[in-house]
Amino acid sequence: MKLAFMSAAHVHADAYVSCLQSMPDVEIIGIADHDSVRGKAFASRYGLSFFESYDTLLAQKPDGVLITSENAYHKDLSLKAIKAGAHILCEKPLATNVKDAETIVRFAHEAKILLMTAFPMRFSVPVRSVRDELLRGKLGKPLCFNASNQGQLPPRDRAWFTDPVLAGGGAIIDHVVHLADVMRWYLGTEIVEVYAVANRIFHAQEVEIETGAMVSLQFKNDVFATINCSWSRPSTWPSWGGLSFDLITDRGAIHVDAFKQNLTIFNTLSVQDGVKNAQQSTSVNHDWSSAHGDRGLGPRWLFWGSDANQMMIEEFITAVREHRAPMITGEDGLHAVQVVDAAYRSIQERRPIRI
């Protein structure tokens, strides 16, 4: 299986390339990136070939591509890949607006190109295990979800995450898509109404987009959900992101944490250094942690559980080999974009939006 990367903009590109390099039956042709400095650095870091243009990369006839660019470029890169006959695993969100997402899905369908949206949370063992129990009828009838996908403000080396044009928004577009997809997957039905509120209480002096938000969803079967999708974690938080939810049914409730399979590791700073650095950190906030990297005072997580990214990559490759639709389709990505679009319209119009 010959695969290639289209851009190294997204932080998940580092995880995906590691997954692929662990698979002996996969060849990574290389990477192309419109930011040549970034692309060359990525290629050098992982021992890959760098191509000066996407067209030159696609001329190598890869079986599939992983699109890990800025969100705003997903449509253009997807159409290039489709024209070249390469199957696609596209980072979420599928696009920054509904029209572009619809275009990607339509062209892929017409060209018989396999299109998969990168929603690794469907491969999280805690998330999948609870869904299995739900479908077996062991948890009762779902009534509602109380969900959270919080994280830190995206790092400065990925500043495009806070660019309203390149990212398409802020914390909402970054986090809501994951939970909206998981909930649709759990319930087997569609979201029909969205209501959202947002603000910039967190990092108000640093970015121009929403950093805190609450999104309410109504499903066709009358189940409802709330999603806290904020960039509210401090810089010393053990992980950049997290995803958890309470599923309330007519039999009780169950808490699902997709990132619970971890060990907490503390650094080895001396007590004197710790006190000194803690005093310094009070005046410079998250800048202190960023500058000192692993010497930050906060703990970090070491994951011991299953690798959702690895399983997602394996599903993509298997689907290409078997000439079948992947577990997560382009249509799933489109539905998530529709929810995000409705959330932003709800904020602008201050009312619930029907989908």
Taking only the tens place, the pLDDT of each residue in 299-338 is 888 877 789 999 999 999 999 999 999 999 999 999 999 9
Instruction: Identify which of 105, 256, 241 has the alpha carbon closest to the alpha carbon of residue 186.
Output: 256
Whole-angstrom distance, CA of residue 331 vs CA of residue 329: 5
148 pLDDT above the threshold of 90 = yes
Pick the range with the lowest mean pLDDT from 71-85, 175-189, 263-277. Answer: 263-277
With residues binned 3-state (H G I as helix, E B as strand, rest as coil), the percentages for the chain, rounded to 5, are 45, 20, 35
- Residue 64 neighbours by CB under 8 Å, 6+ apart: 1, 2, 3, 4, 86, 87, 88, 89, 114, 316, 317, 320
Q: Give the pLDDT band (50/70/90) at residue 281.
A: very low
Which pTM does this prediction carry?
Answer: 0.89
Interhelix angle 98-110/74-84, rounded to 10 degrees, is: 10
Dig out the tokens for 291 from the structure. Answer: 């500058």
Q: Taking the chain, what is the end-to-end CA distance rounded to the nearest angstrom?
A: 39
The Cα–Cα gap between 229 and 211 comes to 8
- Supply the mean pLDDT for the chain: 90
What 3-state class would DSSP assign to 2?
A: strand
pLDDT score recorded for residue 296: 52
Dihedral Cα 54, 55, 59, 65, nearest 10 deg:
40
- Cα(316)–Cα(114) distance, integer angstroms: 9
Kindly state the tokens that stand for 21: 């390099």
188 phi-psi bin (left φ>0, alpha ψ -120 to 50, beta other) = left
Unique residue bearing structure tokens 């569609």? 190
Residue 110, pLDDT above cutoff 80: yes
User: pLDDT tens digit string along 232-270?
Assistant: 988 888 777 789 999 999 999 999 999 888 888 887 554
- Report how far apart, in Å, the C-alpha atoms of 240 and of each of 133, 149, 159, 304, 305 are: 29, 11, 14, 17, 17
State the pLDDT at residue 234.
85
Whether residue 190 is predicted with pLDDT greater than 60 in this model: the reply is: yes
At residue 268, the pLDDT reads 56
Please tell me the distance from the alpha carbon of residue 291 to that of residue 272, in angstroms, as a whole number. Answer: 19
Question: 330 is written with which tokens?
Answer: 């382009």
Q: Which domains, from first to last, does the chain contain?
A: 2-118+309-328 (3.40.50.720), 122-261+339-354 (3.30.360.10), 262-302 (no CATH)
pLDDT at residue 145 greater than cutoff 60: yes
Asked whether the predicted pLDDT for residue 273 surpasses 60, the reply is: no
Contact 34, 56 (CB under 8 A): no
Query: What digits encode the pLDDT tens for the residues 26-53?
Result: 999 999 999 999 999 999 999 999 999 9
**Quick one: pLDDT at residue 275?**
43
Q: Which of 13-22, 67-76, 290-299, 303-312 has the lowest mean pLDDT?
A: 290-299
Q: Is the pLDDT of residue 298 over 90?
A: no
What does the pLDDT read at residue 294?
Answer: 43
